């Protein structure tokens, strides 16, 4: 009997492979299963571990450890493959559709241009391309905590922070500011 073409899609193959991987793997503990379900649904490792029942204080490290266990990895792959569908648009298809919407000529019943959906599509495309990502800015006073182990170093660091002493200056020398035009 010939195979149906829809069974040969990459998504269908991924589902079959994930299913076979699970049958070869041994059963996960309840917490491991819950962790895998939460990761596959989009939560990060720490949050998934916390939701699976691990203590909040250890959730980040437990999540990282669980995510690297072969059996857990196979289960996450299986659950992810089960949620994948060829009906879900790829990123390229979404960008193409949004680009079409951005350039559509939208008019009201009276013939005036309506640009709301065009602008919304452009905004979404910009978000997809991280156009709005900005470098972090620090405003106000910066605080730098430096831990030192002896009193002499602490005093030197305090003087440097106050502008009384600069790195490389000898202890006891005055700091001379040289401005442009002076020699």
| 9/55 same-domain check | yes
94 contact partners, CB below 8 Å, separation of at least 6: 128
What one-character-per-residue DSSP string does 136-178 give? ----S--------SSHHHHHHHHHHHTTS--TTPPTTPPP---
Residue 143 lies in a domain: no
Check residue 78 and give its pLDDT: 86
Check residue 180 and give its pLDDT: 56
Residue 145 lies in a domain: no
Residue 134 lies in a domain: no
Residue 160 lies in a domain: no
User: Burial, 25: exposed, middle or buried (Cβ in 10 Å; 0-12, 13-18, 19+)?
Assistant: middle
Q: Among 23, 54, 82, where does a domain finish?
A: 82
Check residue 25 and give its pLDDT: 47
| 33/78 same-domain check | yes
Check residue 1 and give its pLDDT: 44
The alpha carbon of 22 is separated from its chain's Cα centroid by a whole number of angstroms, namely 28
Residue pair 86/92 in contact (Cβ under 8 Å)? The answer is no
| 76/110 same-domain check | no
Query: What is the tens place of the pLDDT at every residue in 9-55?
Result: 666 666 556 555 544 445 889 999 999 988 988 889 999 999 999 99
| 21/72 same-domain check | yes
Check residue 9 and give its pLDDT: 62
Check residue 173 and give its pLDDT: 53
Task: Write out residues in the chain with pLDDT < 50, as ranges.
Answer: 1-3, 22-25, 175, 178, 182-183
Please state, in angstroms and as integers, the Cα–Cα distance from residue 5 to each residue in 9, 12, 16, following that order: 7, 10, 15
Domain range for residue 112? 91-128
| 110/43 same-domain check | no
| 100/71 same-domain check | no
| 20/72 same-domain check | yes
Name the pTM for this structure. 0.38
Residue 95 lies in a domain: yes
Between CA 49 and CA 63 the distance in angstroms is 5
Check residue 130 and give its pLDDT: 74
Residue 44 lies in a domain: yes
Residue 22 lies in a domain: yes
3-class secondary-structure state, position 89: coil
């Amino acid at each position: 009997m010939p195979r149906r073409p829809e069974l040969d899609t990459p998504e269908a193959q991924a589902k079959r492979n994930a299913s076979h991987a699970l049958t070869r793997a041994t059963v996960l503990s309840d917490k491991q299963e819950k962790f895998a379900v939460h990761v596959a649904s989009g939560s990060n490792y720490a949050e998934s571990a916390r939701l699976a029942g691990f203590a909040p204080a250890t959730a980040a490290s437990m999540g990282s450890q669980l995510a690297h266990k072969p059996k857990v990895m196979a289960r996450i792959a299986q659950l992810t493959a089960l949620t994948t569908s060829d009906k879900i648009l790829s990123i390229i298809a979404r960008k193409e559709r949004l680009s079409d919407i951005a350039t559509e000529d939208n008019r009201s019943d009276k013939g005036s241009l309506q640009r709301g959906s065009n602008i919304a599509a452009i905004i979404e495309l910009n978000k997809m391309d991280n156009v709005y990502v900005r470098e972090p800015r620090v405003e106000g006073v910066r605080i730098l905590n430096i831990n030192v182990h002896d009193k002499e170093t602490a005093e030197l660091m305090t003087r440097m922070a106050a502008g009384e002493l600069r790195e490389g200056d000898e202890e006891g020398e005055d700091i001379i500011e040289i401005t442009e035009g002076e020699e």
